[in-house]
Structure 1
């Protein structure tokens, strides 16, 4: 599954793929309607988007359906996705592209509204049944051709499609999807960063600056000042120097003052 597809959507798409094609990855990505992929000139996942669209015209005439790939895109749907998403016709129709396009179909049908609790399971199930004919509706509703009962395909009565799974199976998967999409990913506790070794006091510029200040400044202060003023200045400068040096983490640790 393409890594850009969220876990809940990936779970649902895996169920869609197996229901639609009766196969699992990687074989499901090669399937065309009626499992006639062995008649193709080259594998589906090596064809370009434009090559698939062009070939689907013939499949519709021969097989009554143009469904291709794990999500069983019909030609109209694939052409619509190409236009809507601005796909290049030269892009390879590989597994990852099929996954991304199928996820976009889920979004169209209300995936985000469902996992956010804006629509209920029954409504989302009805929308999915409108996208994939193998899915049954989860309650009585108006289908594409007629009124359909719970458990019938949305396209019942068209002479081509029918449901391939029970409504109970769909409901069970949707419950898992909802739970998975609403489970917050466990975030590991941040690892404490190792404390760097304190710089040796003897190598600290701060230490030497204040030490020299404490020693040199008193001499600079000695001059023509009154002796009492000289003593006051010496005491003040020395006091500041002692405070600055003693406040250094390494010195406080040495003195047993660090917490």
Structure 2
């Protein structure tokens, strides 16, 4: 884990990465949607940020999603992060440390700091995480992106692509 990520956030990010890609080792950072990374000319972690974003253009058609890396970054998310984090260059290598830093920015976007100090509830923060990471369940019944969903379902349930890959009780325990 990148040293700039606070310890509590690092624990949560490790959990997110393992849930998203079903592994927690170094190779988890090279995963693309559907575990199709073996079809790439080189590992993600040796590609530059720009190369990853450019390559993602064709992945949605080829692999059904542009999700890339340990945190399954969508192409639009990486483009948006590059606009917000001006220290990122298209020439930066898509290393595990860079992926950790970017995922931490997503945690902050989704209310991590507010959750830590009690400004938002566990249920609300978990919903925010479920909106960012489709493998995460919502903790209460609600309107998802496609339809009404129950506790334990992905926010994106019904889209034909995503489902929750972890039990809500496990998310509650980690949070």
TM-score if structure 1 supplies the norm length?
A: 0.66
Deviations 1:12-33 (A, max 9, x none): 0000000000011201001001
Show the counterpart of 2:84: 84
Show the counterpart of 1:26: 26
Find the aligned partners of 2:118 and 2:153 in 1 and give their Cα distance: 25
Q: CA RMSD in A?
A: 0.6
Find the aligned partners of 1:141 and 1:116 in 2 and give their Cα distance: 25
Map 1:1-259 to 2 at 5 A: 1-86=1-86, 87-174=88-175
Find the aligned partners of 2:63 and 2:24 in 1 and give their Cα distance: 23
Structure 2 residue runs without a partner (length 5+): none
Q: Is the 8 A contact 2:36 2:63 kept in 1?
A: no
Kindly tell me the number of residue pairs found equivalent between the two proteins: 174
Deviations 1:137-165 (A, max 9, x none): 00011111111111110001101100000
Shift of 1:40: 1.1
Find the aligned partners of 1:88 and 1:17 in 2 and give their Cα distance: 23
TM-score if structure 2 supplies the norm length?
A: 0.98
Higher Cα radius of gyration: 1
Deviations 1:34-54 (A, max 9, x none): 111111111100100110001
Structure 1 residue runs without a partner (length 5+): 175-259
Q: Which aligned runs of 4 or more in structure 1 are off by greater than 3 angstroms?
A: none
